Amino acid sequence: MSIRTLNYQYMPSPFGQLEIAATDENLCIVRFKSERSHPTNNNEILEKTIRQLTEYFLGYRHTFDLPLATDGTPFQQEVWRQLNRIPYGATCSYGEIASSIHRPKAVRAVGAANGRNRMSIIVPCHRVIGANGSLTGYAWGTSIKASLLAHEQKYKIIQS
């Protein structure tokens, strides 16, 4: 395993402060975090991420074009690829994701992989809901999840 130097930036969003971390090659972390716990530094990946997230929050961007460091098991990476296939403004259940990766009984494992996603918003884990339509589990709370989904509903008719 190689040691990566992470550069950090903090970005205000309509839903809370985001902590963003990247190497010079890849985006590594996007998460809601109220306190700054790292000194800030900048690089091209961080600048591009902040620009694309700003466009997302303004309703102009529906997909992201960023190099991601998605360290995880092959199963987790397969789940995260499926998350990126959920259209902007749409939702999908954990069971639907499990079925789409040909593992229909792996609903709990899909939930666990979803919870290990380190790229909030970029890899849209907020679009995954319970089978009954409920807003289940989100690392930063269901109120932020509901706000992100409402934001996407508001802007889904605008083309990116």
Kindly list the catalytic residues. 125
Q: Using DSSP bridges, classify how beta strands 18-22 and 7-11 pair: parallel, antiparallel or unpaired.
A: antiparallel
* Cβ atoms 28, 69 nearer than 8 A: yes
CB-based contacts of 106: which residues, under 8 Å, 6+ apart?
A: 75, 98
Q: Counting every residue, how long is the chain? A: 160
**Cα 120–chain centre separation:** 3
Rounded to whole angstroms, the Cα distance separating 101 from 74 reads 12
Burial class of residue 15, CB neighbours in 10 A (0-12, 13-18, 19+): buried
Q: How many CB atoms are located within 10 Å of the residue 90 CB?
A: 13
